[in-house]
Every structure is written in structure tokens, then in C-alpha cells.
Amino acid sequence: MSTNENQLPANFIRQIIANDLKINKNNGKVATRFPPEPNGYLHIGHAKSICLNFGTAIENKGTCNLRFDDTNPEKESVEYMESIKRDVQWLGFTWDGLYHASDYFEQLYNYAVQLIEQGQAYVDSLSAEQIRAYRGTLTEPGKESPDRNRPIAENLDLFKRMRAGEFADGQYVLRAKIDMASPNINMRDPAIYRIRRVHHQRTGNDWCIYPMYDYTHCISDAIEGITHSLCTLEFEDHRPLYDWVLEQLHTPCHPQQIEFARLQLEYTIVSKRKLNQLVTEKHVSGWDDPRMPTIAGLRRAGFTPKAIRDFCERIGLTKQNSWIEMGVLEYCIREDLNENALRAMAVLQPLRVVITNYPETQVEQLDISNHPQRHELGKRSVPFANVILIEQDDFAELPPPKYKRLVVGGEVRLRGSYVIRCDDVIKDADGNIIELHCSYDPETLGKNPEGRKVKGVIHWVAEQQSYPAEVRLYNRLFTVPQPDNEDNFLDAINPGSLEVLTGCRVEASLADATVENRYQFERTGYFCLDAVDSGEGKLVFNRTVTLRDGWVKD
């Protein structure tokens, strides 16, 4: 990874850090953290945060922790934690420390006791509904709870008994005592502990009270010695609370919270709740469905970590809410795959072609380059015989203007092979084309014919020497750029987001395809072997992205 700072694009966080370094703030240390809640799979929006946090650490020779914000056990699970670790590593990052907010439950509790002792937190018996009513509105100040001035000793006793499990869920809550009239609603005595008898995936039944985000996050950051706590814009209003907690507690360090705009990608969604709904209601096959914007989905679709990292750098980092066009992501994956994917031929919708002047029993092995520019990637052997398969689209009886492919009486180059001419179209009783009769020019292997130009080049496979495969063509999951803005985002699901092609034939070399390799099926797109449904003798390929199509059809 490049660490040449002069080459990296400027952004406001890089500027803040550069300035901090200049004045030797934090003794020149940079420590970040990526703090997901393990309540779902990571998605492309998390990738932005991951690249930011780990990237910032790498650029500044600092550290970056992975910390699970596991303070709400109701929605969290070990499966999610495992998937998050897997995805972060797959993206190419290594955490310095692996922590959980739950590691700090005891310290958090002690800090809460300190807050109570300082008269800055109290146990409230108001119900959730009452607290809401007392909170006031955006334009009206709130009212103080009758319990707000409960004596410290009583608060201490009650809080201890909350922990001990003497009260029912929801009976009491611990609140920070700040300002019920604050124009910032987050400062109107926010709840910092609630009673919840839920089994926690790590602490089991040790606790029946759980600390809340605003109280937990800042302290966790401080405990880990985080210098720059990077989070998304919706937490801007929480920063005063973040700072308030650390100031009251006199923590040894006070991290700086900096907010940036979250990623919004057109034609998809990154709301965890909605992603979850797509999975639960089976609109997709799972969290790793290749149409999902999850890291797992992108991986299964054939995206590379490098392309995703590149994408995250290209989209920039600001405080402006913005929508990134899908074209940017597609550009990034094409750039990587064009450079690195092995070329191969696969016929997705076959049309039989009999080469009438080619010996019926002959099979020729043609050596074809694995990459048109990078010859060091070697060649593979592709069998050629008298019956081949071409793409149905590559033949037209009534060609559109500027058509460069096969027409009756016309010639076309078979990629890496001979030039053929179409002599006859064979149809069935209903008039459907069932095969073509062509003749080949033996003088055109590896060289152009004399006296005429053959414009078109099409891909092909030998019928007998090819392998059957299933090919899954994925398209955008939604029909509108901002499905989140629809009344019901499910109505915007693209019914054609998955096309399964079962009669495909792939060239012989693809029988050895691996999940790790990426392939360009020439002229059709980039593909990878499906990691889940491929098996012994069964080839299933996923289309990662199409090739750019510069053919301007009239």
C-alpha cells in the first residue's frame, strides 16, 4: 500500500491529523478504531469507515483497533461478530487490538458509580413513555423528573440493586444529570443504563443492566487511548455528550470525535434494518447474495478487496451528504479485473455452427493468450473442431446498422482461431434458427486474410470439447437510484436483478476454474466461480460486472 502522503488526495480529516501531528498533539500518536455493532453483516458503507480508520492508522504509523460495540445484546450475535472479523481481514486490514465494549462493563459500572457520587447521575423511576413526555420537544424545553434530585446515597443504593437484579426490566434507568432545557436534546438527561434481562453473547447472564451507546463509546475510546474517534454525521449532536462524559470522569485521555458523511450508493441500500429484511423475507438468497451491497455479497460476486479499497479512496471524504453513482464502483472493479483477470471464452446462449469444410474427426489445439496485454500470464490450450458454438446474439439475419458480427454471406473472425463465412441458415419447421453452416479459411490462423478486411471478432467454444455451466447474470437490485426514499423500498426491487442461464458452455480450461481466480469471459464480462453452489463437476459462474459497452446502437 502506498504511504506517500503527497500522493494521497486531500481531505479534511487528513488535514486535521496533519495539523495535530505538527503541534505534537497526543505526542504524535494516531490511534483509531473501527467500532461496529455486531447486529448484521458489514456493507459497502462500513468499507468506507474501515478504509478510513485502518487507512489513517497505516498512513500515520499508528494503530487501529477493531472494537465490537456490543451493548445491546438483543440484536447481536456471534455469527455477526465472526462475519465482521472475516470481512475486515478480507478487505486487507489487520487490527492492532480486538476489543468489545463488553470488556469494559465493570469499568463502565465503576465510572457510573463515580458519576453518581459526583451528583451527576441519578436513578429515575419514570417509565419510558413518561421520560419521552418529560423530554420536551425540538422547540420546547423538557421538564425535570421528580427523581432528579434523589439523594446521592439513595442513587448509589438503587443503582447497586439494579445491577443485583432486584428490579424488573424497565423499572429504573440511570440518567446523566445535565440540562433538561438544553437546545440539544441529547443533553436532556440522557439514559445511560437500562435494565434488560437478556443473555449476552460474551458476558452471558452476568449483567442485567447494560450501558448505552453515548455513555459507552466515549469511555471505550478513552480506555483504548484512541486519539481520533471517527464516526458518521448523525453523531454530530452527540459530540457534546461524548465530551461531557469524559470531562466529568477526568479520563486519562480525551479522544477527539470527528464526523464524516456516510456513503450513499445509488441503486442500493445500506440500511442494516432493510438489508436484514431482504434476507429474512427471502428477496435475496442471504447476506452473501451477490446482489447485496454487503462485503460478503460483493466478495461472492467477484469483487476484489483492492477494487473496494480503491473505491473508498476515490469517493472522497467530506461532511457533505452525497450520492455516489454505481458507475464509480463499476469503474474500480473493471480497472482491477481488466488488469488481472484471465481471459477465457464462454458461450452463454449457444447457437450451433457446423464448419462444413473442416474435417469431421479433426480436433486442433489452439494456444491462446490468457491476457491480451500481459503475455507473462501465459497461454492456454483451446480445442477447435468442426462443430462449434457461438453466441446467438453474434448472428443476425437482419443485422442492425453497423453490425460487425456474423451475417449470411459475411465473414467473422473466431477469436484466436480462423475466419469463417456463413453459407447457410438452418431452421426448424417453426422457422427458428437451429444451426448455421459455415466454411472456414485455413489460411487465416494467426494472420489476416489477403485482400479483404474482417471487422468482427466473436468468441466461441467447440461443442464436444466444452463444458456445461450455469451462469448467473446479476443486475442492480433496485430500479430507482434512491430506493430508501420510496414509500416501500421493496416495491423498487428489480424483478430482473438475477438472470440464471443454464445452457451455457465454457471452454475446456474453465473446467479447472477456482474460486480465487477471476475471469474475463471475452466480450461478455467479468466472472468468478460461485463459492457456494459450484461443486464437483458443477460449474456455476457469477457475473461480477459487464464489460464497458461503447457500441452506440441507433
Partner RNA sequence: UGGGUCGUCGCCAAGCGGUAAGGCACGGGGUUUUGAUCUCCGCAUACCAAGGUUCGAAUCCUUGCGACCCAGCCA
Choose between 210 and 489: whose C-beta lies nearer to RNA: 210
Q: Looking at 302-386, list the stretches that DSSP marks H as alpha helix, in order from N- to C-terminal side.
A: 305-314, 326-340
Set of cell numbers at residue 177: 444529570
Q: Contact region for RNA (CB under 7 A) — 45-53, 154-162, 194-202, 355-363?
A: 194-202
Choose between 29 and 274: whose C-beta lies nearer to RNA: 274
DSSP 8-state code for residue 10? P
Binding string, residues 152-191; x marks residues near RNA by CB under 7 A: -----------------xx--x---------xxxx---xx
Q: Contact region for RNA (CB under 7 A) — 20-28, 137-145, 384-392, 467-475?
A: 137-145
190 contacts 178 by C-beta, under 8 angstroms: yes
**Among the listed residues 301, 292, 231, 303, the one whose alpha carbon sits nearest the alpha carbon of residue 265:** 292
- Does residue number 8 form part of the binding site for RNA (CB under 7 A)? no
478 contacts 267 by C-beta, under 8 angstroms: yes
- Does residue number 7 form part of the binding site for RNA (CB under 7 A)? no
Binding residue count for RNA, defined by CB under 7 A: 92
Footprint on residues 337-376 left by RNA (CB under 7 A): 338, 343, 371-373
Position among 6, 9, 24, 431 found at the interface with RNA (CB under 7 A): 9
For residues 2 and 228, what is the distance between their CA atoms, to the nearest angstrom? 22
Binding string, residues 12-41; x marks residues near RNA by CB under 7 A: x--x-------------------x-x----
- Counts for the chain of helices (H) and strands (E), in that order: 12, 25
- Among residues 29, 143, 196, 262, the one annotated as catalytic is 262
- Does residue number 464 form part of the binding site for RNA (CB under 7 A)? no
Any idea which residue has 439494579 for its cell? 162
For residues 70 and 67, what is the distance between their CA atoms, to the nearest angstrom? 9
Position among 233, 363, 426, 434 found at the interface with RNA (CB under 7 A): 233
- Among residues 14, 29, 37, 335, the one annotated as catalytic is 37
Q: Contact region for RNA (CB under 7 A) — 43-51, 55-63, 428-436, 446-454?
A: 446-454
202 contacts 225 by C-beta, under 8 angstroms: no
Position among 234, 360, 367, 491 found at the interface with RNA (CB under 7 A): 234
DSSP letter for each residue of 249-301 = HT-S--PEEEEEPPP-BTTS---HHHHHHHHHTTSSSSTT-TTS-BHHHHHHH
CA distances from 101 to 38, 65, 227, 280 (A): 11, 12, 17, 28
272 is catalytic: yes
Choose between 194 and 254: whose C-beta lies nearer to RNA: 194
- Does residue number 408 form part of the binding site for RNA (CB under 7 A)? no
Nearest distance in Å: CB 131, RNA: 5
Nearest distance in Å: CB 106, RNA: 17
End-to-end CA distance of the chain: 44
Position among 90, 167, 403, 467 found at the interface with RNA (CB under 7 A): 403
3-state DSSP helix/strand/coil % of the chain, to nearest 5: 30, 25, 45
- Does residue number 127 form part of the binding site for RNA (CB under 7 A)? yes
Binding string, residues 492-521; x marks residues near RNA by CB under 7 A: ----------------------------x-
Footprint on residues 264-323 left by RNA (CB under 7 A): 314-323
DSSP 8-state code for residue 302? T
Binding string, residues 60-79; x marks residues near RNA by CB under 7 A: ---------x-xx--x----
37 is catalytic: yes
Beta bridge partners of 342: 519
269 contacts 293 by C-beta, under 8 angstroms: yes
**Among the listed residues 500, 420, 505, 497, the one whose alpha carbon sits nearest the alpha carbon of residue 462:** 505
Would you name the residues annotated as active-site residues? 37, 262, 272
